[in-house]
Amino acid sequence: MRWIGRFEGYNAAAFRKDLISGLIVGIIAIPLGMAFAIAAGVKPEYGIYTTIVAGILISLFGGSKFQIGGPTGAFIPILFAIVIQYGYENLLIAGFLAGIILVLMGAFRLGVLIKFIPRPVTIGFTAGIAVIIFSGQIVNFLGLSGIEKHEKFLPNMKEIVMHLATINIYSVITAGVCLMVILLSPRFLPKVPGSLVGLVASSVIAALFFKGHVATIGSSFGAIPSTLPHFHFPEITWERIETLIRPAFIIAMLGGIESLLSAVVADGMTGSRHNSNRELVGQGIANMVTPLFGGIPATGAIARTATNIKNGAASPLSGIIHGVVVFLVLIMFAPYASDIPLASMAPILMLVAWNMSERKEFVHVLKTKTSDSVVLLITFLLTVFTNLTTAVEVGLILAVILFVKRMSEVLKVAKVLPDPTTKNEKVKAHMVTEGHDCPQISMYTIEGPLFFGAANMFEKSIMDTIHLRPKILLLRMGKVPFMDTTGESNLASLVKHFEKFGGMVLMSGIQPQPLEVLKRTGLFDLIGENHFFEHTGEAIDYALFQLDHNKCLGCKHFAFRECAALSNAQSQQEVKNTLEQVQHKKHKLSSLNVSSKTE
């Protein structure tokens, strides 16, 4: 019923819009599908199969009305590595496993978690992927021969340098024509896909003038069949699952990130709102079914989705039409696709790499010269020089470590005392000096989250600054928004230490989440309900009554307003009378303030 709801108010005018946008996006998707497949190390028709099957299924079951799915550049390095290392059959299994992972992520509503992946990590590996795609097309652009493909970046660059002497001038001209047409077509033919115009123009020129001198899809991969392959379920064994689960997880994560990012872009362009978890389920279904027809992993394609919207798409039907268009082209024109030069595909992928590189964001983050810059640079370098799996894992771990470090630095523990020169005698750290510090009451303001990264520093800060053994430790917790069990454990250690030597711990202003943690762990009962106060002033009043008043007689620290009277008192009874008088005055003043507010 939800799917039907996306067609509410649908009419003939909307269908015409979907038909036009689906036709245009389908035409754009054909060269891209073949190019991505070739770059991933598989036959070009597998990219076509992916565009058809995944494109239709993602539109049918996804969570965005305008999403266009299919093979994308983001997958190229990881797919190429799997093909080189494990072979095409295992690539299908990895894609199938990735589909299962995506479905589970959507079913368990984990779509929101993908949004928490740090931006420097995504920019870093996206820029790294762009470098790999761009550099991987140098061979076809220059028409180099005798090249052996490697999984790693540096060996591939070494191969290019070693075989520069085999440069094919006909390939360079063909690629140059395609690149020039792609760059100029938006100016002269703004409504026609530049990649398609460039592909056709350069292919015609190569066929007329360089026939037999330029490598084509047919000469490199064989003729493209004009039908979909038969349904084939790959042989999945437990051993293969153990081998492929890590790359499958990376495929799933990349697919999830790319598809949700594309859906967000679509939302921004249309004012609609996608369903993240449903989108993951749709992506998962597509990636489970596509390998059964020989297709490679797919995800939401940002550029094609944006093109779909710009051409007036009104519903998911445009994505379904886009898949049908590609299928019809496959049936009717597959033999002609075999004559497309590989040199014509190179500029298309190079421009895809250039557009996906996020170069402006990359430079912007680097200029900040923060820990984010380090995460970005390391993720980028690892993507280029090792592999995407390592880059993402290290990038995420490093981002978490640096985040914990930053958050631990946010926590501030300061010993404070009331400042009589301020309104309501607000407590300040500068009031604590060697000659102005209550020997019996130590009061601290804690600011920031009390979690595993900062808990030890919190306990150590208090223990290191307490030279005498105070009778009362007052903790002002109003600026502690969060506490985990590690923070609670360190706080419990502090409480037990004080109570062991006859001390008492008071707390003021504690927020709901930390309070709930203390109640669940039993620390709330250990401290005592009557030792928790809403305001610091109430806690100070209570603390003053609990002092050893003999020590107050003659004390010259005068840390609190009451200290002068307490110090000059002649007996404990006089001390008690003084405290009661102060308490009565405060209560009366408080009542007057409340009364004036209600009048």
The domain limits of the chain are 16-400, 412-598
- Report pLDDT digits (tens) over 396-439: 999 989 888 888 888 899 999 988 887 777 888 888 887 788 88
* Per-residue confidence (pLDDT) for residue 425, from 0 to 100: 76
Check: CB of residue 551 under 8 Å from CB of residue 562.
Answer: no
pLDDT higher than threshold 80 for residue 329: yes
Q: 441: which strand partners?
A: 472
- Which three-class secondary structure state does DSSP give residue 235? coil
- Mean pLDDT over 186-204 rounds to 88
The mean pLDDT of the chain is 88
* Per-residue confidence (pLDDT) for residue 579, from 0 to 100: 59
Question: What string of DSSP letters covers 86-139?
Answer: H-HHHHHHHHHHHHHHHHHHHHTT-HHHHTTS-HHHHHHHHHHHHHHHHHHTHH
Check: CB of residue 388 under 8 Å from CB of residue 74.
Answer: no
Instruction: Give the class (CATH, top level) of 412-598.
Output: alpha beta
Alpha-carbon gap, residue 199 to 187, rounded angstroms:
17
* Per-residue confidence (pLDDT) for residue 440, from 0 to 100: 87
* Per-residue confidence (pLDDT) for residue 348, from 0 to 100: 92
- Mean pLDDT over 486-494 rounds to 92
With a threshold of 0.85, does the pTM exceed it?
Answer: no
Alpha-carbon gap, residue 315 to 401, rounded angstroms:
43
Helix and strand numbers, DSSP H then E, in the chain: 28, 9
- Report pLDDT digits (tens) over 557-599: 888 877 777 777 655 556 566 556 655 555 544 443 433 333 3
Alpha-carbon gap, residue 323 to 330, rounded angstroms:
11
Look-up: residue for tokens 């762009």? 130
* Per-residue confidence (pLDDT) for residue 570, from 0 to 100: 53
pLDDT higher than threshold 80 for residue 469: no
* Per-residue confidence (pLDDT) for residue 110, from 0 to 100: 85
Where are the strands (E) in 298-440, listed by range?
299-300, 412-415, 417-418, 427-428
- Report pLDDT digits (tens) over 151-191: 889 999 999 999 999 999 999 999 999 999 999 998 888 87
* Per-residue confidence (pLDDT) for residue 69, from 0 to 100: 95
pLDDT higher than threshold 50 for residue 1: no
- Mean pLDDT over 244-258 rounds to 92
Nearest to 69 by CA among 356, 264, 329, 297: 297
Give percent of the chain above pLDDT 70.
Answer: 93
- Report pLDDT digits (tens) over 269-306: 888 888 999 999 999 999 999 999 999 999 999 889 98
Q: How many residues appear in the chain?
A: 599
* Per-residue confidence (pLDDT) for residue 592, from 0 to 100: 38
* Per-residue confidence (pLDDT) for residue 574, from 0 to 100: 62
What's phi and psi for 592, nearest 5 deg?
A: -65, -40
Tell me the C-alpha to C-alpha distance, in Å, between residue 415 and each of 436, 476, 510, 515. 12, 10, 17, 22
Tell me the C-alpha to C-alpha distance, in Å, between residue 448 and each of 352, 505, 511. 44, 20, 12
- Mean pLDDT over 140-159 rounds to 92
* Per-residue confidence (pLDDT) for residue 4, from 0 to 100: 53
* Per-residue confidence (pLDDT) for residue 284, from 0 to 100: 97
Check: CB of residue 128 under 8 Å from CB of residue 391.
Answer: yes
* Per-residue confidence (pLDDT) for residue 445, from 0 to 100: 94
